[in-house]
Amino acid sequence: MTKKIDVVKNVLDANDEVALENRKLMQQYGCLSVNIISAPGSGKTTLLEKTIVGLGGAKSAVIVGDLQTARDAERVADVAAVVQINTEGGCHLSAGQVAAALEKLDIRNAALDYIFIENVGNMVCPSGFDLGEHYRVAMLSTPEGHDKVAKYNTMFQPADVILLNKIDLAEVLEFDSSCIRDDLSKINTRAPLIELSAKTGEGMDAWLAWLKNAKAKLGSSK
């Protein structure tokens, strides 16, 4: 058992070293990066399509992690540079995979403003791996139920911003966002909760404002 724990610790340490390099590199070239973690089907790809268009003239890139298929990458390729990572069964992205993607994006010359990392759809494993992002985004969608913050606290606790997507379905689903707020008040009071619908556009302004503000802060620290 000790042997297993040691091996896991080494893997995590190695990941963290690469994550540090990723963060330095993105900082140096003024790219704000966010790592978006959610369950499968909560709407990460639709969110990104609408976000990148909503950011107007900014130059964005997307790093998409998926077990199989290039379906998500194809969907965002019209609006951003995209690198698809097929994890071939792996349940999360690693910093090394992101480092390789940054090379493919030619980060030193591409003059990117934003890098969006769409993690593998999974509320558990991606939370354990720093990819070098500046901010971590945890997203829940209303059909998943209002009990998820307490159940998946390892995902929501370290998040810098929390998105509640598909609020256009809240009424038909009898979704109780007060339960979300109560649970968040116990584990994470620093991250804002932004309720939105990537599909209808409701609430997207607040999310875009959050991103622009984060980008502005990054710029001023250079």
The site for a second copy (CB under 8 A) is made up of 3-4, 7, 11, 39-42, 66-69, 71, 89, 91, 120-125, 141, 143-145, 147-148, 150-154, 166, 169, 172
Closer residue to a second copy (CB): 80 or 155:
155
Whole-number Å distance between alpha carbons of 130 and 122: 15
Nearer to a second copy, 4 or 190 (CB): 4
Full strand arrangement of the beta sheet holding 60-66: 81-86, 60-66, 114-118, 32-38, 135-141, 161-165, 193-195
Q: How far apart are the first and last CA of the chain?
A: 45
Q: Do the Cβ atoms of 192 and 161 come closer than 8 Å?
A: yes
Distance in Å, CB of 32 to a second copy, minimum: 27
| Least spacing, CB of residue 169 vs a second copy, in Å | 7
User: Rounded to whole angstroms, how far apart are CA atoms 95 and 70?
Assistant: 20
Residue nearer to a second copy on the CB measure, 1 or 56: 1
From CA 164, how far away is CA 74, in angstroms rounded? Answer: 24
Output the smallest distance, CB 54 to a second copy, in A: 21
Closer residue to a second copy, CB minimum distance, 121 or 203? 121
Least CB distance to a second copy at residue 41 (A) = 3
